[in-house]
Structures are given as structure tokens and as C-alpha cells.
Amino acid sequence: MKTALVFGSSGLVGSHLVRLMNKNSNYEKIKLFVRSTSEIKTSKIEIINTDFKNLSNHKEDINGDDCFFCIGTTKKNTPDKDEYRRIEYDIPVEIAKIAKSNSINSFFYVSSGFADSKSSSAYLKNKGQVEEELIKLNFSILGIMRPSFLVGNRKEKRPGEEVGIFFFKIFSPLLLGPLKKMRPIQSEKVAKVMIKVASENLKKTIFESNEIAELALN
């Protein structure tokens, strides 16, 4: 049985990950790296209060089999450009490097549809640059998820995103061929496929939103 490490366990995808892994017999321990005490408490779960500005202090804790990174922010919540960059780029890359140095075999990252290291959008650019760094680390199994609009019960309201999801849901049947990856996707499906890739090693690295949706059906 395996030990999972989860960064971003309170988020839209991370919360589903924890719930699904808690029921999954392949995992005997789930380490949650959190800034404040988590409300989730089961016999499998180990809570690690984490100083994300000094991750090197947690090198011994970042040890196990499968590492899942689901942390993200928005410009609204993090208006400072340097802090935004630290959360969106520095933290995932540093965690991945520590995981690799500790011989963790598998790393899974929630990126974004249309992630591109050369994008004019800071959000898509950061995601694309993280993807490139993860690929360079050469994990035995690397799963980069590129979901479109994530559907689920968020703790925070994002009016602009909700409007986008509403319209994309209406027009989803018209999004065919290459446009299928723009269809909104349930956050639970992303979590399910991350676990699936961890257990089945599908010999693929980047999963577009429509590919995630198809794999979640199996």
C-alpha cells in the first residue's frame, strides 16, 4: 500500500482527492500539507502544518509514493505580482524538486487548459512554465491535468467564472473536435483521473480536459 501527499486538500480538486483516496485501499496513509488545521480527520490522514515560505524545513515530511499538487490562487486574492508568482510557480516547482530528491516516483499537477509558457496571460504562462519544469525532473509517472472550467462547490464565489461556466454549459454540445477540451468539467472527475493515472500508469503525461472526462467514465 502507498502513501499519498496532497498539497491543496481544501480546494475544489484537492477535497475530492482526499475523499476518494480515503476510500481507496491502495493508500494506507494520506499526508495533508496545510497552512492551518484541517477539519478532515480519519485514521489514514496525517496533518502537516506547513510553512510554505520555508518548504526546505519540510523536506523529511515530503516523502511517500504519489505527490498531488492542487494549489492555486487568483489575481483577486493575490494582487501582488511577486506573491502571485510565488504561489503559482515557485511553490509547485520547489515541492516537485524536493519530491524528486526524496525519490518520490509519481507527481500530479493541476494545470489549466491552454497552459503555455509563452502566453501573454500570467496565469497560463505560470502554468506552462511549471509544466516544463516538471517534465525536466523526469518522474517515473507524471500526470499534468489541464482542466477547462472546473465545476463544483467552491468555498469562494467567482462571479466571472460562474458566468463563463453557465454559457459554456449551454454551448458544450457545439464544442466538437479540438474544441471539446473547452467544455466545463466536474472537479471530482479530475481527482478521479489523477488517482487512476497513479495506479495504472497510462504512459501519458499531459491530459487535456476532454481526455480527463473520457477517462473518468471508465
- pLDDT on residue 41: 73
Q: Residue 43: which pLDDT band, with cuts at 50, 70 and 90?
A: confident
Query: Over 70: is that where the pLDDT of 173 sits?
Result: no
pLDDT value at residue 177? 54
Cell readout for 74 is 487568483
Q: How many domains does the chain have?
A: 1
Residue 14 pLDDT: 95
pLDDT on residue 156: 58
Q: Could you report the per-residue pLDDT of 45-84, keeping only the tens digit for each? A: 999 999 999 999 999 999 999 999 999 998 888 999 999 9
One-letter amino acid for residue 133 of the chain: E
pLDDT of residue 119: 96
The phi and psi torsions of 207 (rounded to 5 degrees) equal -120, 110
Q: Model pTM greater than 0.95?
A: no
**pLDDT category of residue 184 using cuts at 50, 70 and 90:** confident
Alpha helices in 3-158 (DSSP H): 12-23, 81-85, 91-101, 122-137
Domain range for 178: 2-216
Confidence of residue 103 (pLDDT cuts 50, 70, 90): very high
d(Cα 170, Cα 6) in Å, to the nearest integer? 34
Report the distance separating Cα 151 and Cα 109, nearest Å.
Answer: 18
Q: Is the pLDDT of residue 181 over 80?
A: no
DSSP conformational letter for 165: H
Distance between CA atoms of residues 181 and 183, nearest Å: 6
What's the CATH number where 167 sits? 3.40.50.720
